[in-house]
A and B are shown apart, each in its own frame.
Chain A
Amino acid sequence: MSTSEVVLPVGANVPRSNARTAADLPIDTNAAHYVVVTTDGESATAAAAFADRLAPIPVIALDASAGTEALIEVLASARVGWRFALLGGDPGLSRCRAALRAAGVIDAEIVTAGPDPRVGGPRELFCAHCRAISSTDAPIGGETPCGGCGQRLVVYYHFSRRLHAYLGYRPDAEELR
């Protein structure tokens, strides 16, 4: 499989961003509060520029590249009317989105700006056999050993928003021995 853009079947369930860059993200002027989260170390400048665009709406800026704890703390005081902007790539983006969903946030309250998941980038992989979630650089449709049980897994174009991971399974799992 080449490393250029993977062609996915129509209806493939993979995460999509609202825009490639924060500059192109729409702003909901009715929002009561915005939480701007960077999920990798590269989006800080974009996040600051986006926060400037949001004025006078109050903004909380967070860095979640090391984990979602800070975001989860903020969620405890969030209310309906808040909006969440996630900037950066996977796997941090999907982990943040999963944390938001777990807190009751719906897609209409989240905007994301990040690279196209079909083009490179690390992603998290759920092993259907040992259930471990490991991080991989393999492209969607590519193959990689499972970080838990070591079996060769195909990175399938099915993404679980709850687990924030792609489905991985042994491509020869159905062959009889």
Chain B
Amino acid sequence: MESTAPPKSVVVEMSDELKLVVARTRMLCADVREIVLDDPTGAILPSFPAGSHIAVEWSPGQRNSYSLTGPSVEPERYSISVRLDPAGRGGSRWAHELRVGDTVRVSPPRSEFAPVATARHHLLLAGGIGVTPILSHVRAAVLWVRSFEVVYAHRSGAAPHLDEMSALCGDRLTVAESRERFWENVTPALARSPLGTHLYVCGPASMVDAVTAAATAAGWPSGRVHSEPFAAGAVTGGTAFTARLARSGTELAVASDISLLDALREHGAQVPSLCGRGVCGECRLTVRGGPVDHRDSYLTDDERDLGDSIMACVSRAAATHLELDL
């Protein structure tokens, strides 16, 4: 901290990372690119539960998570679909510029959105690029002959994987090109689902919140509602604040357009992270003071109320200062 050299970005090594090669790419719609990754030796890749994602390193220490859309049992390749986010920090832009033959470092699959094997029926709701883990769920449901239905909401002209979903689902798929059409289908489904149904929703955070609220109001216990929110654009934005590192006594200005995690790393602090969007728990830090603006999907309500933890990649100070145990 007192050296005169400029702070380096810290590379935090992933243990058990996979070095894969881009085998092929194609555009699924105007802003979504499918990228297929192979093991360079042709080896079978690790199997994974449906709904899993991999963290893809797009610059040293920076990772974005993408759901795996392909077959999950002893797969020969991993397929991901990346939506170009013009307001992002560069990860999706990097993915859209990858060429066949490029090496890509990824984490092994992480499962945080798996189907409940004992469900009597699966109600699957996909919003936009949120279709990616839902497609994975559909593959598993077809493989295991499970009862399921899908409502896929998308803006007209931007329906990645629609053909594949139609082929797998047949008449179990309903497509909605407007919010009204989406709710025309979802509201009755919430009121009339057979006993034992589990609900899975993936899409923008606002859609996930709205579906969760509607399900709760319709009497669905939280144990039946499973969600994976996707961040819309840059989650790191907010008001600027000061982070005080209690052990060294240094103070760090966190600007409004940078995440606490990135600010700490630029400062030289070694903070591990994996998903970059507040779902995996890797970047959890201990908070000694200052109210926290929790924006993650990892901490429980009780943990948030305690106020002694923060997920550095997405959450921020609720006021002007945060004191961290670093």
Contact = CB atoms under 8 A, between A and B. Distances in A.
Contacts of B193: 79-81
Interface in B213-252: 216-224
A81 B191 contact: yes
B216 A104 contact: no
> Closest 6 interchain pairs by CB?
A104-B196, A81-B219, A108-B221, A104-B120, A32-B219, A80-B193
Tier of interface size on chain A? 10 to 19
Contacts of B196: 80, 103-105
A156 B224 CA distance: 33
A75 B195 CA distance: 8
B217 A105 contact: no
Interface centre among A28, A75, A80, A109 (most CB of B within 10 A): A80
A146 B118 CA distance: 33
A80 B220 contact: yes
A103 B220 CA distance: 16
A82 B219 CA distance: 7
B124 to A, nearest CB: 15
Interface string B168-206: 000000000000000000000011111111000000000
A98 interface: no
Contact of B195 (A30, A31, A82, A108): A82
Contacts of B191: 32, 79, 81
A33 B219 CA distance: 9
Interface in A48-94: 75, 78-83
A109 B218 contact: no
Contact of A78 (B119, B195, B222, B224): B195
Interface residues of B, number: 20
Contacts of A30: 216-219
B216 to A, nearest CB: 6
10 contacts: A28-B219, A30-B217, A33-B219, A80-B197, A81-B193, A81-B220, A83-B219, A106-B224, A108-B222, A109-B221
A109 B198 CA distance: 13
Given A30-B216, A30-B218, A80 B194 contact: yes
Interface of B: 118-120, 190-197, 216-224
A36 B218 CA distance: 19
Contacts of B216: 30
A157 B216 CA distance: 36
B223 A79 contact: no
Contacts of A31: 219
Nearest to A34: B219
A79 B217 contact: no
Contacts of B120: 104
Contact of B223 (A32, A33, A106): A106
Contacts of B190: 80-81
Interface centre among B118, B194, B221, B222 (most CB of A within 10 A): B221
B4 to A, nearest CB: 59
Contacts of A109: 221
Interface string A1-25: 0000000000000000000000000
Contacts of A105: 195-196
B223 A81 contact: no
A80 B197 CA distance: 7
A127 B238 CA distance: 64
Contact of B224 (A75, A80, A83, A103): A80
B323 to A, nearest CB: 38
Interface centre among A30, A81, A82, A104 (most CB of B within 10 A): A81
A79 B221 contact: no
Contacts of A104: 118-120, 194-197
A83 B224 CA distance: 13
Contacts of B223: 106, 108
A108 B223 CA distance: 8
Contacts of A108: 221-223
Contacts of A80: 190, 193-197, 219-220, 224
Contacts of B194: 79-80, 104
A117 B190 CA distance: 36
